[in-house]
Amino acid sequence: MVYLQERVGRSAYGRVCRWEEADVLLVGVPWEGGVSFRRGTAQAPSLIRAVSSQIDYYRSDCPFLERAGLFWVEPEEQFQAGVSVDEAYEAQVLPYVESWAEAAVAAHKPLGLIGGDHSVPLGLHRVLQTLEPGYGLLHIDAHADLRISYDGLRYSHATILHHLTQFRGIERIVMVGIRDWAREEAEYAQRLYPRLVTYEMRRLAQATHLGRSWLETTSEIVSLLPERVYVSIDVDALDVGYVPHTGTPVPGGLRYEELFFLLEAVRRSGRQIVAFDVCETGGQELDAIVSAHLIYRLCGIVLCAGGER
């Protein structure tokens, strides 16, 4: 098992953590074999870790986070796609992610995956839906990722959610921020309703312009989720100004604090975030610093779900 080889995490967020002391497991997955436009996201895990020391660690909503054990691991080198992307994914990415997911479940530690493209969480869900079924998926993304295949690839960043709809251990899927998708994806989503519910960005913006508060909207979104929640964030869900080098940018996204008002609504509801991923960060420092803040704040939401520690 991969995790047995590493008992001390890498330096991240100004600290080094031993496995026994870990409060959160953060796993970098430097893979971009399934991207379809701009490359660079395979560089993101190491770049995010490098810039993570530049943020301040105190969070008034989670003072414990400043001293929390954040155990960060990532491969020595980026995963290589080789001749067959799908075969490389099955041989490299799946076993790596599954090993760490099994370690996290066995140790009862929350896990955050740091992509890499958005295909990387599949192995984590394969473990979770088998060992801890009955959770909901909050998929925050500019794209639906519901294609059966894309560019001839089964394991494309555009197919991850289609894979996950096949897992019966995932009770419900709620998509938020969608604003760029194919007709067949929309039709597939309609067929899966109410197990899969979509909040398109266009409709979210219209509701706000017509006077509906973001509090009311986020409360409705959270009410659809079961008690245990997995949060999946493609950073292109954010307005493109935050992450201009993401692989497939789309105008008209969420503002940073809008995103976190939604995530904090999950915490306020008493629901448990069992794991999360943050994917598609571009390989530039600006994008990396945004994601470093995002990941750190997510760790705080996970660790202080029951109130301040």
Q: Residues 51-63: pLDDT tens digits?
A: 999 999 999 999 9
What pLDDT does residue 83 have?
A: 78
Q: Where are the beta strands (DSSP E) in 164-251?
A: 170-178, 196-200, 228-234
Mean pLDDT of 130-138: 97
Query: What is the average pLDDT value for the chain, to the nearest integer?
Result: 95
Mean pLDDT of 189-203: 98
Task: Identify the DSSP state of 22.
Answer: -
In this structure, what are the phi and psi dihedrals at residue 225, rounded to the nearest 5 degrees? Answer: -90, 145
CA distance 255 to 238: 6
Q: Which amino acid is at 65?
A: L
Q: Percent of the chain, pLDDT > 90?
A: 92
Q: Which amino acid is at 25?
A: L
pLDDT at 307 over 90: no
The number of beta carbons lying within 10 Å of the beta carbon of residue 6 is 14
- CATH fold for domain 2-303: Arginase; Chain A (3.40.800)
Domains in the chain: boundaries: 2-303
What pLDDT does residue 36 have?
A: 79
Least confident of 70-84, 202-216, 236-250: 70-84
What pLDDT does residue 1 have?
A: 47
Please tell me the total number of residues recorded for the chain in this structure. Answer: 309
Global pTM reads 0.96
What pLDDT does residue 125 have?
A: 98
